[in-house]
Structure 1
Amino acid sequence: MNQKQSLLTAALLGALTVMIGAFGAHALRPSLEAAGRLETFETAIKYQMYHTLTIFLIGLLQLHLPLKQLRTASLLLLLGIVVFSGSLYVLCLSGITVLGAVTPFGGVLFIAGWLYLFLAISKLPLQKQ
């Protein structure tokens, strides 16, 4: 994603994360607790918010560093949110436990996004003090 796409995506994901979290905390809490899935839902929310903030920070970095690795990093983190958090949300709401097998692929996308961020930062010139 380019700089504008990263920032816009992060802004929308931030709002969506708060809405999903509030919905889970209020409307879904009794059913999540009954199914023993409250902690799973909270994990999905936390990972979504952490990576949303990271996409936002990447967008800010892109203001000064229009690197391909940053575009790739933000895209991989977005896909990680969809696969990781998305599979956990569906698991919590549907009880389809086979979706737990999909979640690690989202984790791999997160790791790849962080590694692309590492590659982008490693390309920065050394600043002399």
Structure 2
Amino acid sequence: MTQFTLIIASILGGLSVIFGAFGAHALKKNLTEEQLKSFETGVKYQMYHAIVLLLIGFNIKLETASETYMVYSFIAGIVLFSFSIYGLVISSAKNKKLRFLGPITPLGGLLLVCGWCLLFYTILNIS
């Protein structure tokens, strides 16, 4: 589980750099300020949580069910939160807004919060 966590963290971290550059250069001409800020929010949250996954992978043994759920919560939360924002922003810029993605963003945020709660629980139980 540790190697899986580190691999996914490195992929998500690398993608956040790529998406950040894509947003700053390729999309900047086509997005409004508000859309650009939303896209940047997705990139920031993706990078922050990729770093959290790296720290978890290097510092927690990931042996219990709650530790496994924590990792999966962070991964699913990143994908649902950040990628739904990317989809909403890009589709909106093309005047074909994918409205079904709207409810997915808060679900991703909820999974990120679950990941943080499980991290808190894990830290309390490390002795």
TM-score normalised according to structure 2 size: 0.88
Deviations, residues 13-68 of structure 1 (Å, cap 9, x unaligned): 1111101110111011111227x4001001000110111111111101234x6333
After superposing on structure 2, the runs of 4+ consecutive aligned residues of structure 1 that deviate more than 4 Å are none
- Look up the match of 2:119: 117
Q: Determine the C-alpha separation between the residues in 2 that align with 1:101 and 1:71.
A: 25
CA distance in 1, matches of 2:30, 2:63: 45
Mark the runs of 5 or more structure 2 residues left unpaired by the alignment: none
Equivalent pair of 2:84/2:104 in contact (CA under 8 Å): yes
1: CA distance between counterparts of 2:66 and 2:119?
7
Partner of 2:29: 30
In structure 1, C-alpha distance between the alignment counterparts of 2:28 and 2:102, rounded to whole Å? 20
CA RMSD of the aligned region, Å? 1.5
2:79 alignment counterpart? 82
Query: In the alignment, which of 36, 39, 58 is matched to residue 37 of structure 2?
Result: 39
The match for 1:4 is 3
TM-score scaled to structure 1, two decimals?
0.87
Cα deviation, residue 100, structure 1: 2.2
Match of 2:19 in 1: 20
Larger Rg: 1
Does residue 73 of structure 2 align to residue 73 of structure 1? no
How many Å separate the matches in 1 of 2:6 and 2:64? 15
Aligned residues: percent identity?
41
Could you tell me which residue of structure 1 aligns to residue 106 of structure 2?
Answer: 104
